[in-house]
Amino acid sequence: MEVFLLWLGLAIIVGVAANSRGRNAFGWFVLAVVISPLLGGLLLLAMPRGGLDVKVCPECAEKVKVFARKCRYCGHEFAIANPPPLPPPPLFTHRDYDPPVR
Ligand SMILES: [Zn+2]
């Protein structure tokens, strides 16, 4: 019984550690229970911190989730939930372009 409680306790620690690294706490808790807290913890440590699912807020330069519509630090609203690699701005807009006169 003590082993089971220890197992659960360690799995909870893995979940909390996952949450502090910007990952799904419950998912990691379940993973740690299933594959063992030790393996779960090692796997979590092997993962890059924060992962690739963050973008930098243009207003406050804080890291927020890619799919966030609103910055949780400053409240900046993102236009669309687009991934971070934005296309470069066009060299000219259609307003600058004068169509050829026929
Ligand atoms: Zn912000």
pLDDT tens, residue by residue, 43-57: 888 876 655 678 889
Centre of ligand 1 from the C-alpha of residue 69, in Å: 11
Identify which of 71, 66, 21 has the alpha carbon closest to the alpha carbon of residue 41.
21
pLDDT digits (tens, 9 = 90+) for 30-42: 999 999 999 988 9
pLDDT value at 12 more than 60: yes
Is the pLDDT at 80 greater than 70? The verdict is no
What is the residue range of 40's domain? Answer: 2-46
Looking at the fold, whether 56 and 41 belong to one and the same domain comes out as no
Number of domains observed in the structure of the chain: 2
Give the global pTM.
0.48
Ligand 1 centroid vs 73 CA: distance in angstroms?
A: 5
E runs forming strands in 18-78: 54-56, 63-65
Task: Say if CB 60 and CB 77 are below 8 A apart.
Answer: no
- Distance from Cα 10 to the centre of ligand 1, integer Å: 34
Burial label for 98, CB within 10 Å (0-12, 13-18, 19+), is: exposed
Shared-domain flag, residues 42 and 57: no
Which residue reads 């440590």 in tokens?
45
